[in-house]
Amino acid sequence: MDVNAAVAAVAAIAGACTGVIAMLAFRWSERDQARPTRTSLHTDAVLPPGVDTVLSVLRSSAVVLDESDSVVKASSAAYALGLVRGGKLAVEPMLHMARDTRRDGEIRQVELDLPRRGTGRGEALAVSARVAPLGSRLVLLLVEDLTEARRIEAVRRDFVANVSHELKTPVGALSLLSEAVMDASDDPEAVMRFAGRMQIEATRLTNLVQELIDLSRVQNDDPLEDAEPVRVDELVAEAIDRSRQPASTKQITMAAGGTADLHVWGHRGQLAAALGNLVENAVNYSPAHTRVGIAARRVTAPGGDLIEIAVTDQGIGIPDKDKERIFERFYRVDPARSRATGGTGLGLAIVKHVAASHGGEVTVWSTEGQGSTFTLRLPEAGAGRDRATRSHHDHTTTEPLTAPEVLP
């Protein structure tokens, strides 16, 4: 009986010890799990709740730095701009701003020009950087890309300056010529000569104002709101008729050809103005007794068939250095010749905007002394004509096209 009691006592003591050990182990495990790790100290513990979500929806490039200038969080745009490399902020002026803000808690902002990554042309990237404290240990850096805004502002500034200059020239000439007419009131021959010059300047001023209006309209209007299937041969015939008189004066032959029965989809007035500008330029910059050709054809493209309308001349050609700029507003290859022909420098800019707004493009091939070919590529009507039939009941039928006329 004594033996059984001893065994029971030993078993009870062993069970109690096992329970104590299990409890201690459980408490130790809980304390170990609650202990912060190095990773949690670096991320979750230092980045305030919700900041990650807010930074992900910002349009600006965002970088969060800790007290050792290490990057805790950076948006993909910050990496794309080259602000962060190897886990560090790579722009020294921004790093100095972050350190100063961490020291005194003041918000700082500065505009910088940074070298653009991946280009060997030394192009600058204009940015605006703003640094602010984020809690007691972090600093938030927000960077806005101002490059496109500056480019647009420069274009607007140049446009205003060019318009002022272009308007000032004929207005000033008219003022001087009117004074000359008054001084020569007793000389009928001089009055006639000055009056003729006044008509030329007045026509130039009228053309400039009209092309400014046209350029403003094609930039602000949506051509596809009033889009319709447009017959290419009608556009060609209208462009030829527009330049018939100056071509006849210089004895320039205008010939139309190519594929018949073609339609493009868009605003008829804008398309007519664009093609008319190309043909008018071809006539103005071609010597006498030469030829201007207009040809249309269908070409296959991945996104759907395109219609190419090519205008070819045998004129003076365009130097290689000017080819990339001829579609800029008021840019002239030969300013003296442009003044002689009455050109405003806006015609090709209008063509470019019309082509782009219609989902197409305009390109140029040219060799000095051999002539130029401007090619206007536009989407074929195709499915667009079917959409018009469903949405505009007046487009239920399409008249057949006639073959393009070849002018003598």
Q: Are residues 249 and 312 in the same domain?
A: yes
Nearest-5° angle of CA 73, CA 75, CA 79?
105
Residue 339 located in a structural domain: yes
- State the CATH number of the domain containing residue 64: 3.30.450.20
Phi, psi of 300 (to 5 degrees): -85, 135
Residues 5 and 99 placed together within one structural domain of the fold: no
Residues 108 and 232 in one domain: no
Q: Does 73 map to a domain? A: yes
Give the total residue count for the chain.
Answer: 408
Inside any domain, residue 183: yes
> What is the distance between the alpha carbons of residues 379 and 389, in angstroms, rounded to a whole number?
17
Torsion 293-296-297-298 (CA) sign: positive
- Given 120, 145, 170, the domain boundary residue is 145
Domain that holds residue 13: 1-35
Q: Are the C-beta atoms of 406 and 256 separated by less than 8 Å? A: yes
Are residues 383 and 312 part of one domain?
A: yes
Q: Has residue 45 been placed in a domain?
A: no
| H helix intervals, 35-140 | 38-42, 51-57, 76-80, 92-104
Residues 108 and 165 occupy one common structural domain: no
The answer on 330 and 318 residing in a single domain is: yes
Per run of 10 residues, the mean pLDDT along the chain (length 408 residues) is 50 52 45 39 56 74 88 85 85 89 89 71 78 86 87 76 74 87 86 88 80 70 74 92 90 90 88 91 90 92 87 88 78 56 70 88 88 92 47 34 32
Q: Looking at residue 197, which CATH number applies to its domain?
A: 1.10.287.130
Tell me which residue has tokens 């090619």: 375
Residues 201 and 262 in one domain: no
Q: Domain end: 126, 145, 164, which one?
A: 145
| pTM beyond cutoff 0.75 | no
Residue that the structure tokens 């979500």 belong to: 53
Could you tell me if residue 353 is left (phi over 0), alpha (psi between -120 and 50 degrees) or otherwise beta?
alpha
Q: Which of 184, 203, 220 is the last residue of a domain?
A: 220
User: Do 97 and 107 fall within a single domain?
Assistant: yes
Write out pLDDT tens, residues 353-370. 889 888 899 999 988 888
In a domain, 43, yes or no: no
- Whole-number Å distance between alpha carbons of 88 and 353: 43
Which residues are 326's β-sheet partners? none
The pLDDT assigned to 207 comes to: 75
Structural domain includes residue 41: no
Residue 60 is predicted with a pLDDT of: 81
3-state secondary structure of 144: strand
Q: Which residue has the tokens 């007290």?
A: 67
My answer on whether 163 and 113 are in the same domain is no
Q: How far apart are CA 72 and CA 137, in angstroms?
A: 11
341's CB contacts (< 8 A; 6+ apart) are 284, 285
Which CATH number is 362's domain given? 3.30.565.10
In a domain, 306, yes or no: yes
Task: List beta partners, residue 375.
Answer: 310, 363
How far is the C-alpha of 72 from the C-alpha of 94, rounded, in Å?
16
Domain count within the chain? 4
Residues 266 and 278 in one domain: yes
Domain assignment present for residue 332? The answer is: yes
* SS3 call for 363: strand
Q: Are residues 280 and 391 in the same domain?
A: yes
Same domain, 96 and 163: no
